[in-house]
């Protein structure tokens, strides 16, 4: 039976560590640490703003997190360099397993959507640059309802926009907080565990599937 797949974008389809090469030119051997801290703070800001009902779009969270990380690590980045990094955030690469996995699922008749905290225009540019925009029926962004994952309203919005039900949809994400949000509205879930260093939150709930690669999805749902 065909399913409706909700694919998280940042960290699931798109490798946010792809910014590290550019950071290398700015902060040298601190690039990996900087990239990780930046990503963590970006998500923290989205969580906090969601709880506070003080919405700004995800690009603002990204920019403010960059500024904070630069100050925290005492690694100054000029305004011009910061803008270059933010522009490059719209051109990050897809993980190597993504194109094949999406084509397999699409060929099998499943309905694929990109589902993200990002702005619609940013997501269009990002997925197009990564060469995978054509795989998706549409892009569904939290910007449409002005809150962030893992607010349950976001997942209900996805189901309404995609004309899907919780039992015939599957949220695919590398982010445990995202999957827990989907579980809150009874969506099926698949965790893409891209590193053995990643661990699922011990909340007495587990995803329906735990996979190490997106290419395992087709086999999991079609045998």
Q: Hey, which residues are catalytic here?
A: 8
Q: For residue 11, give the nearest of 179, 153, 166 by alpha carbon.
A: 179
- Token readout for 195 is 């590193």
Helix residue ranges per DSSP H, 73-212: 79-88, 98-107, 120-129, 152-162, 176-183
Q: How far is CA 196 from the centre of its chain?
A: 19
Q: Is 167 exposed, middle or buried (0-12, 13-18, 19+ CB in 10 A)?
A: exposed
């Amino acid at each position: 039976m065909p399913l409706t797949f909700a694919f998280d974008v940042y960290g699931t389809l798109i490798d946010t560590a792809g910014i590290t090469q550019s950071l290398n030119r700015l902060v040298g051997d601190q690039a990996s640490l900087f990239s990780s801290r930046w990503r963590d703070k970006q998500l923290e800001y989205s969580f906090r703003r969601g709880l506070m009902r003080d919405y700004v779009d995800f690009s603002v969270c990204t920019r403010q997190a960059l500024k904070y990380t630069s100050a925290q690590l005492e690694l100054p980045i000029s305004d011009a360099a910061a803008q270059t990094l933010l522009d490059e955030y719209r051109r990050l690469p897809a993980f190597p397993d993504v194109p094949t996995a999406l084509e397999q699922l699409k060929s099998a008749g499943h309905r694929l959507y990109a589902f993200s905290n990002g702005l619609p225009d940013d997501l269009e540019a990002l997925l197009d640059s990564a060469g995978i925009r054509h795989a998706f029926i549409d892009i569904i962004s939290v910007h449409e309802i002005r809150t962030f994952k893992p607010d349950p309203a976001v997942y209900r919005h996805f189901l309404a926009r995609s004309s899907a039900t919780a039992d015939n949809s599957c949220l695919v994400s590398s982010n445990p907080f995202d999957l827990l949000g989907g579980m809150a509205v009874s969506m099926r879930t698949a965790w893409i565990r891209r590193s053995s260093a990643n661990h699922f939150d011990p909340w007495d709930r587990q995803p329906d599937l735990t996979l190490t690669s997106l290419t395992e999805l087709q086999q999991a749902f079609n045998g």
